[in-house]
Amino acid sequence: MKINVVYNKDVAGYADALNILEKTLSDRNVEFDSFPIDNLKLSGDFAFVIGGDGTLLKAARFYASEEIPVLGINLGRLGFLAQAGVEEINRVVDSVINKSYFTEKRLMLSSGSALALNDFVIKGCVPSRTSKFYLEINNKFVCDYTADGLVISTPTGSTAYGLSAGGPVLYPSLDAIVIVPICPHTLNARPLVVPAGEIITVKTSDKLLSVANDGFDTMECVEKISIHKADKKAVLAFLNDTGFYSVLRNKLHWGISPDIK
Protein backbone atom coordinates (compact mmCIF):
# COMPACT_ATOMS: atom_id res chain seq x y z
CA MET A 1 0.00 0.00 0.00
CA LYS A 2 1.18 3.48 -0.88
CA ILE A 3 -0.23 6.36 1.13
CA ASN A 4 -0.74 9.95 0.01
CA VAL A 5 -0.34 12.50 2.81
CA VAL A 6 -2.12 15.71 1.84
CA TYR A 7 -1.82 18.81 4.03
CA ASN A 8 -3.07 22.37 4.09
CA LYS A 9 -0.32 24.87 4.93
CA ASP A 10 -2.91 27.55 5.69
CA VAL A 11 -4.35 25.64 8.65
CA ALA A 12 -2.73 26.24 12.03
CA GLY A 13 -0.95 23.21 13.47
CA TYR A 14 -0.49 21.40 10.16
CA ALA A 15 3.31 21.06 10.57
CA ASP A 16 3.07 19.21 13.89
CA ALA A 17 0.34 16.92 12.58
CA LEU A 18 2.33 16.25 9.41
CA ASN A 19 5.46 15.35 11.38
CA ILE A 20 3.54 12.94 13.62
CA LEU A 21 1.81 11.27 10.67
CA GLU A 22 5.00 10.92 8.62
CA LYS A 23 6.91 9.49 11.59
CA THR A 24 4.10 7.04 12.33
CA LEU A 25 4.09 5.81 8.73
CA SER A 26 7.90 5.55 8.66
CA ASP A 27 7.96 3.57 11.91
CA ARG A 28 5.59 1.07 10.32
CA ASN A 29 7.57 0.89 7.06
CA VAL A 30 4.67 2.23 5.00
CA GLU A 31 5.50 3.86 1.67
CA PHE A 32 4.10 7.39 1.45
CA ASP A 33 4.37 10.66 -0.41
CA SER A 34 3.54 14.04 1.15
CA PHE A 35 2.38 17.13 -0.73
CA PRO A 36 0.24 20.24 -0.15
CA ILE A 37 -3.42 20.45 -1.12
CA ASP A 38 -2.56 22.90 -3.92
CA ASN A 39 -0.22 20.37 -5.55
CA LEU A 40 -2.22 17.12 -5.53
CA LYS A 41 -0.81 14.04 -7.25
CA LEU A 42 -2.99 11.33 -8.75
CA SER A 43 -1.25 8.28 -7.32
CA GLY A 44 -1.29 5.96 -4.34
CA ASP A 45 -3.93 3.66 -2.88
CA PHE A 46 -5.19 5.76 0.03
CA ALA A 47 -5.03 9.41 1.14
CA PHE A 48 -4.75 11.00 4.56
CA VAL A 49 -5.85 14.63 4.49
CA ILE A 50 -4.60 17.04 7.19
CA GLY A 51 -6.77 20.13 7.53
CA GLY A 52 -10.45 20.97 7.84
CA ASP A 53 -13.53 19.89 5.93
CA GLY A 54 -12.69 22.27 3.07
CA THR A 55 -9.35 20.56 2.54
CA LEU A 56 -11.00 17.15 2.63
CA LEU A 57 -13.64 18.20 0.09
CA LYS A 58 -11.00 19.32 -2.39
CA ALA A 59 -8.96 16.14 -2.00
CA ALA A 60 -12.04 13.90 -2.26
CA ARG A 61 -13.12 15.57 -5.51
CA PHE A 62 -9.63 15.14 -6.96
CA TYR A 63 -9.23 11.47 -6.03
CA ALA A 64 -12.75 10.51 -7.11
CA SER A 65 -11.54 9.87 -10.67
CA GLU A 66 -9.46 6.90 -9.44
CA GLU A 67 -11.77 5.95 -6.53
CA ILE A 68 -8.96 6.52 -4.01
CA PRO A 69 -10.37 6.65 -0.45
CA VAL A 70 -9.67 9.75 1.63
CA LEU A 71 -9.65 10.09 5.40
CA GLY A 72 -9.43 13.39 7.26
CA ILE A 73 -7.21 14.34 10.19
CA ASN A 74 -9.13 17.33 11.49
CA LEU A 75 -7.41 20.62 12.33
CA GLY A 76 -10.43 22.78 11.52
CA ARG A 77 -13.41 23.75 13.64
CA LEU A 78 -16.26 21.28 13.16
CA GLY A 79 -14.59 18.53 11.16
CA PHE A 80 -17.91 16.99 10.20
CA LEU A 81 -16.37 14.74 7.53
CA ALA A 82 -13.03 14.11 9.25
CA GLN A 83 -12.55 10.91 11.22
CA ALA A 84 -9.89 11.74 13.78
CA GLY A 85 -7.84 14.36 15.58
CA VAL A 86 -4.05 14.59 15.81
CA GLU A 87 -3.99 12.64 19.07
CA GLU A 88 -5.52 9.64 17.27
CA ILE A 89 -3.02 9.38 14.40
CA ASN A 90 -1.34 6.20 15.68
CA ARG A 91 -4.65 4.39 15.96
CA VAL A 92 -5.84 5.68 12.59
CA VAL A 93 -2.68 4.54 10.78
CA ASP A 94 -2.88 1.08 12.32
CA SER A 95 -6.53 0.77 11.28
CA VAL A 96 -5.71 1.71 7.69
CA ILE A 97 -2.72 -0.66 7.50
CA ASN A 98 -4.87 -3.50 8.88
CA LYS A 99 -7.71 -2.49 6.54
CA SER A 100 -9.98 -2.02 9.54
CA TYR A 101 -11.97 0.68 7.84
CA PHE A 102 -14.89 0.92 5.45
CA THR A 103 -15.67 3.27 2.62
CA GLU A 104 -18.72 5.12 1.41
CA LYS A 105 -19.25 6.43 -2.11
CA ARG A 106 -20.80 9.89 -2.06
CA LEU A 107 -22.78 11.61 -4.81
CA MET A 108 -21.13 14.65 -6.40
CA LEU A 109 -22.58 17.38 -8.61
CA SER A 110 -21.13 18.70 -11.84
CA SER A 111 -21.39 21.86 -13.92
CA GLY A 112 -19.00 21.91 -16.86
CA SER A 113 -15.58 21.06 -15.43
CA ALA A 114 -16.55 22.09 -11.88
CA LEU A 115 -17.36 19.42 -9.28
CA ALA A 116 -18.99 19.73 -5.87
CA LEU A 117 -19.16 17.16 -3.11
CA ASN A 118 -21.09 19.54 -0.83
CA ASP A 119 -22.86 22.12 -2.95
CA PHE A 120 -23.04 24.78 -5.59
CA VAL A 121 -23.95 28.19 -4.14
CA ILE A 122 -25.51 30.57 -6.65
CA LYS A 123 -25.85 34.30 -6.07
CA GLY A 124 -26.25 37.43 -8.13
CA CYS A 125 -23.18 39.33 -9.26
CA VAL A 126 -24.13 42.14 -6.86
CA PRO A 127 -24.00 40.23 -3.56
CA SER A 128 -25.28 43.16 -1.49
CA ARG A 129 -28.82 42.84 -2.86
CA THR A 130 -31.42 40.16 -3.46
CA SER A 131 -32.03 38.80 -6.95
CA LYS A 132 -34.79 36.91 -8.71
CA PHE A 133 -33.70 33.40 -9.61
CA TYR A 134 -35.54 31.28 -12.16
CA LEU A 135 -35.42 27.55 -11.54
CA GLU A 136 -35.79 25.00 -14.34
CA ILE A 137 -35.63 21.22 -13.98
CA ASN A 138 -35.13 19.15 -17.12
CA ASN A 139 -35.75 22.29 -19.22
CA LYS A 140 -39.15 22.86 -17.62
CA PHE A 141 -39.87 25.99 -15.57
CA VAL A 142 -40.51 25.21 -11.90
CA CYS A 143 -40.65 28.51 -10.01
CA ASP A 144 -38.81 31.71 -9.26
CA TYR A 145 -37.27 32.83 -5.99
CA THR A 146 -36.58 36.39 -4.84
CA ALA A 147 -33.70 35.62 -2.51
CA ASP A 148 -30.05 36.19 -1.66
CA GLY A 149 -29.18 33.04 -3.56
CA LEU A 150 -29.75 29.32 -4.00
CA VAL A 151 -27.91 26.30 -2.61
CA ILE A 152 -27.90 23.21 -4.83
CA SER A 153 -26.70 20.49 -2.49
CA THR A 154 -25.81 16.81 -2.35
CA PRO A 155 -26.92 14.68 0.62
CA THR A 156 -23.37 15.06 1.99
CA GLY A 157 -23.70 18.84 1.73
CA SER A 158 -27.16 18.90 3.30
CA THR A 159 -25.51 19.34 6.72
CA ALA A 160 -23.49 22.34 5.50
CA TYR A 161 -24.70 25.63 3.99
CA GLY A 162 -28.05 24.12 3.01
CA LEU A 163 -28.80 23.25 6.64
CA SER A 164 -27.90 26.79 7.76
CA ALA A 165 -30.25 28.15 5.09
CA GLY A 166 -33.15 26.07 6.45
CA GLY A 167 -32.86 22.98 4.27
CA PRO A 168 -33.47 19.37 5.32
CA VAL A 169 -30.85 16.85 6.39
CA LEU A 170 -30.56 13.96 3.92
CA TYR A 171 -29.03 10.60 4.67
CA PRO A 172 -25.64 10.55 2.85
CA SER A 173 -26.38 7.51 0.67
CA LEU A 174 -29.60 8.90 -0.81
CA ASP A 175 -29.59 9.52 -4.56
CA ALA A 176 -31.09 12.98 -4.39
CA ILE A 177 -30.38 16.70 -4.74
CA VAL A 178 -31.58 19.51 -2.45
CA ILE A 179 -32.50 22.99 -3.70
CA VAL A 180 -32.57 25.57 -0.89
CA PRO A 181 -33.28 29.31 -1.26
CA ILE A 182 -31.07 31.60 0.84
CA CYS A 183 -33.09 34.21 2.78
CA PRO A 184 -36.07 34.17 0.40
CA HIS A 185 -38.20 37.32 0.41
CA THR A 186 -41.45 35.38 0.85
CA LEU A 187 -43.07 33.01 3.33
CA ASN A 188 -43.99 30.33 0.79
CA ALA A 189 -40.52 29.45 -0.57
CA ARG A 190 -39.53 26.02 0.66
CA PRO A 191 -36.58 23.70 0.00
CA LEU A 192 -37.09 21.12 -2.72
CA VAL A 193 -35.70 17.58 -2.85
CA VAL A 194 -35.47 16.04 -6.34
CA PRO A 195 -34.06 12.81 -7.80
CA ALA A 196 -30.35 12.92 -8.53
CA GLY A 197 -30.92 12.27 -12.23
CA GLU A 198 -32.57 15.66 -12.78
CA ILE A 199 -30.83 18.52 -14.61
CA ILE A 200 -31.15 21.76 -12.65
CA THR A 201 -30.78 25.09 -14.45
CA VAL A 202 -30.76 28.49 -12.75
CA LYS A 203 -31.06 31.91 -14.38
CA THR A 204 -31.62 35.36 -12.88
CA SER A 205 -33.36 38.59 -13.78
CA ASP A 206 -30.00 40.28 -13.21
CA LYS A 207 -28.80 38.21 -16.20
CA LEU A 208 -25.50 37.36 -14.47
CA LEU A 209 -24.71 34.86 -11.72
CA SER A 210 -21.81 34.23 -9.34
CA VAL A 211 -21.29 30.55 -8.56
CA ALA A 212 -19.10 28.82 -5.95
CA ASN A 213 -18.59 25.06 -5.70
CA ASP A 214 -17.77 23.71 -2.24
CA GLY A 215 -16.85 27.25 -1.20
CA PHE A 216 -13.77 27.31 -3.45
CA ASP A 217 -13.66 27.74 -7.20
CA THR A 218 -15.94 30.52 -8.38
CA MET A 219 -17.55 31.13 -11.74
CA GLU A 220 -17.97 34.89 -11.95
CA CYS A 221 -20.87 36.51 -13.75
CA VAL A 222 -22.21 33.71 -15.95
CA GLU A 223 -25.59 34.00 -17.69
CA LYS A 224 -26.93 30.68 -16.39
CA ILE A 225 -25.76 27.49 -14.76
CA SER A 226 -26.86 23.89 -15.30
CA ILE A 227 -26.06 21.33 -12.62
CA HIS A 228 -26.39 17.56 -12.77
CA LYS A 229 -25.17 14.39 -11.12
CA ALA A 230 -21.44 13.82 -11.68
CA ASP A 231 -20.20 10.69 -13.42
CA LYS A 232 -17.88 9.80 -10.53
CA LYS A 233 -18.50 9.54 -6.81
CA ALA A 234 -16.14 10.60 -4.05
CA VAL A 235 -14.88 7.81 -1.79
CA LEU A 236 -14.69 8.63 1.93
CA ALA A 237 -13.04 6.30 4.45
CA PHE A 238 -14.44 5.77 7.94
CA LEU A 239 -12.99 3.91 10.91
CA ASN A 240 -15.97 3.41 13.15
CA ASP A 241 -19.42 2.36 12.04
CA THR A 242 -21.05 4.63 14.64
CA GLY A 243 -23.69 5.69 12.16
CA PHE A 244 -24.73 8.96 10.58
CA TYR A 245 -27.20 9.74 13.36
CA SER A 246 -24.46 9.54 15.97
CA VAL A 247 -22.43 12.06 13.98
CA LEU A 248 -25.44 14.38 13.93
CA ARG A 249 -25.79 14.13 17.70
CA ASN A 250 -22.12 14.42 18.55
CA LYS A 251 -21.02 17.12 16.11
CA LEU A 252 -24.20 19.10 15.46
CA HIS A 253 -25.85 18.40 18.85
CA TRP A 254 -28.89 17.23 16.92
CA GLY A 255 -32.03 16.82 19.03
CA ILE A 256 -30.20 17.27 22.34
CA SER A 257 -32.51 18.81 24.91
CA PRO A 258 -31.25 21.85 26.87
CA ASP A 259 -29.94 21.12 30.34
CA ILE A 260 -32.66 22.67 32.46
CA LYS A 261 -31.93 22.68 36.16
**245 closest CA partner among 255, 260, 257, 234:** 255
Question: Is 261 part of a structural domain of the chain?
Answer: no
H runs (alpha helix) in the chain: 14-27, 53-63, 89-97, 161-164, 244-252
Claim: this prediction has a pTM higher than 0.85: yes
Q: Are 37 and 124 in a shared domain?
A: no
Among 38, 45, 53, 175, which one carries the catalytic annotation?
53
Question: Is 141 part of a structural domain of the chain?
Answer: yes
Cα 89 → chain centroid: 22
Note the pLDDT tens digit of each residue in 67-116. 999 999 988 666 678 778 889 999 999 999 999 999 999 999 999 999 99
**Rounded distance, CA 26 to CA 31, Å?**
8
Question: Is 260 part of a structural domain of the chain?
Answer: no
**Rounded distance, CA 52 to CA 56, Å?**
6
The answer to whether the CB of 164 falls within 8 A of the CB of 245 is no
Average pLDDT over residues 166-185: 95
On average, the pLDDT of the chain sits at 91
Say whether 45 is catalytic: no
Q: Are 115 and 205 in a shared domain?
A: yes
Q: Would you say the C-alpha torsion 90, 91, 94, 99 has a positive or negative sign? A: negative
Question: Is 178 part of a structural domain of the chain?
Answer: yes
Q: Three-state DSSP class for 250?
A: helix
Angle at 159 between CA 199 and CA 213, to 5 degrees: 50
Residue 248, pLDDT > 90, answer: no
Q: Are 103 and 113 in a shared domain?
A: no
**123 closest CA partner among 213, 209, 201:** 209
CATH of the domain at 117: 2.60.200.30
Q: Are 139 and 224 in a shared domain?
A: yes
Q: Three-state DSSP class for 173?
A: coil
Q: Are 130 and 190 in a shared domain?
A: yes
Range of the domain at 157: 109-229
Question: Is 118 part of a structural domain of the chain?
Answer: yes
